[in-house]
A and B are shown apart, each in its own frame.
Chain A
Amino acid sequence: MTENTIRVHADSEDAMRYQELLDSDWSREILEGVLALLRKLIAHGAKPDAIPWQKVLIFGPHKKSEREFDSTILSRLRDLARAFEEPALPAMPDQFTAIRPSRIAAQAEQAWAYLIIQSMARLRGSKELFRDTQSLLFLCSAHYLLPQLQNHGLTAEHDCLACAMYVHTLLVWRTQPAHLLHLQSILMDCLGDRQRRLDLLNMSFRLTAPHDHSYLTRATAYWSELMELHKYEEAADFLFLLTKQAPDSCQEEIQEMLSETYVEANGAVSR
């Protein structure tokens, strides 16, 4: 086993904890729960005494940020963000905003370290549970941590985390493109790029087979986005196509969405 290998160990208790976190609203407590589970999964495999950057992986929830973030991780993230350029992404910051150590900045550093860990070390063992837990970390970052960083005026930390989230999608989810594109659509929403979000939701849906569990939910998310953008004609065309492709079990909900589309479209015309 090379020095840069981290063994991930999970048992059935960890799997049950993952299920609890999966079915929870994304909040500070859930972010802390997700980070705690990730720390537990690598607790026996990490070697922070021998490999200094791994110290970022193991600190607990009450730790405040150091004066400087770990430069090895930042350097890797900078290289990857440059290689996977995406116009909607903010640039990787050269300097950071935090002038005082804070818990939120420490959480952000731990989050970006876990999101790009596959570029820093080779993982062995229970990799699948680990990466699904990383997916929860991405979602907590999008719905809780990024807005918190913004509210605290930690713009550089926000931008760094956004870059790590984008890199994460490409590093970890290449073999599940529908999920990769969905995560990117969430990030684009955080960055305020609604058209890019819409395109990514559409692509994610198109890569999902009608028999897939997530088919109707992905379709509903795309339809809802079209409605929010007042693209009623496109929404109706999309639903017509869906009536032809979707399984019988989905038809009732599709008809409800069609009715709602007509009602809102007519209301928009009469206003």
Chain B
Amino acid sequence: MTSTMGGDDPAHDLPDPEKDLREKELRKEGKNLRRLRKPKEARKRFDRAIEISRDKSKTAQHH
């Protein structure tokens, strides 16, 4: 998971199944918080989910 993949960079992205799970949880939390009228907290969950799910530098070709 974190072995060196070419260049000087160790692979650092989360494995896909873990990403899927975490982003789904965070989307759900975000939607619940929006319903509870806590928009700031909801936005924070969506921002976290996006940061987890986006292809990281160097690993873009793996998805």
Question: What residues make up the interface of A, taking CB atoms closer than 8 Å to B?
Answer: 8-12, 14-16, 18-19, 22-23, 25-26, 125-129, 131-132, 135-136, 139, 142-143, 176, 178-179, 182, 186, 189, 211-214, 216-218, 220-221, 224-225, 227-228, 253, 257, 260
Contacts and interface: CB of A to CB of B under 8 A. Distances in A.
Interface in B11-63: 11-12, 14, 16, 19-20, 22-23, 26-27, 30-31, 34-35, 39, 42-44, 46-58, 63
Nearest to A228: B39
Nearest to B55: A213
10 contacts: A25-B44, A126-B7, A126-B9, A127-B8, A128-B57, A136-B51, A213-B53, A214-B54, A217-B26, A221-B50
Contacts of A257: 31
A247 B9 CA distance: 32
A127 B9 contact: yes
A129 B63 contact: no
B2 A15 contact: yes
Interface residues of B, number: 39
A182 B3 CA distance: 29
A224 B42 contact: yes
B12 A19 contact: yes
A224 B10 contact: no
A8 B57 CA distance: 15
B47 A186 contact: yes
Given A8-B8, A189-B43, 7 more contacts: A9-B8, A129-B57, A179-B54, A211-B63, A213-B53, A214-B53, A217-B53
B46 A221 contact: yes
Contact of B63 (A213, A216, A228): A213
B55 A224 contact: no
Nearest to A208: B54
B44 A26 contact: yes
Contacts of B51: 22, 135-136, 139
A8 B52 CA distance: 23
Main secondary structure of the interface of B (DSSP, over half): helix
B56 A224 contact: no
**Dominant secondary structure of chain A at its interface with chain B:** helix
Given A135-B51, A139-B51, A129 B42 contact: no
Contacts of B58: 128
B26 to A, nearest CB: 8
A12 to B, nearest CB: 4
A102 B33 CA distance: 34
A214 B13 CA distance: 13
A12 B48 CA distance: 23
A15 B42 contact: no
**From A19, A212, A220, A257, residue with most partner B Cβ within 10 Å:** A220
A23 B2 CA distance: 16
Contacts of B49: 217, 220-221
Contacts of A9: 8
A23 B22 contact: yes
A260 B63 CA distance: 31
Nearest to B22: A23
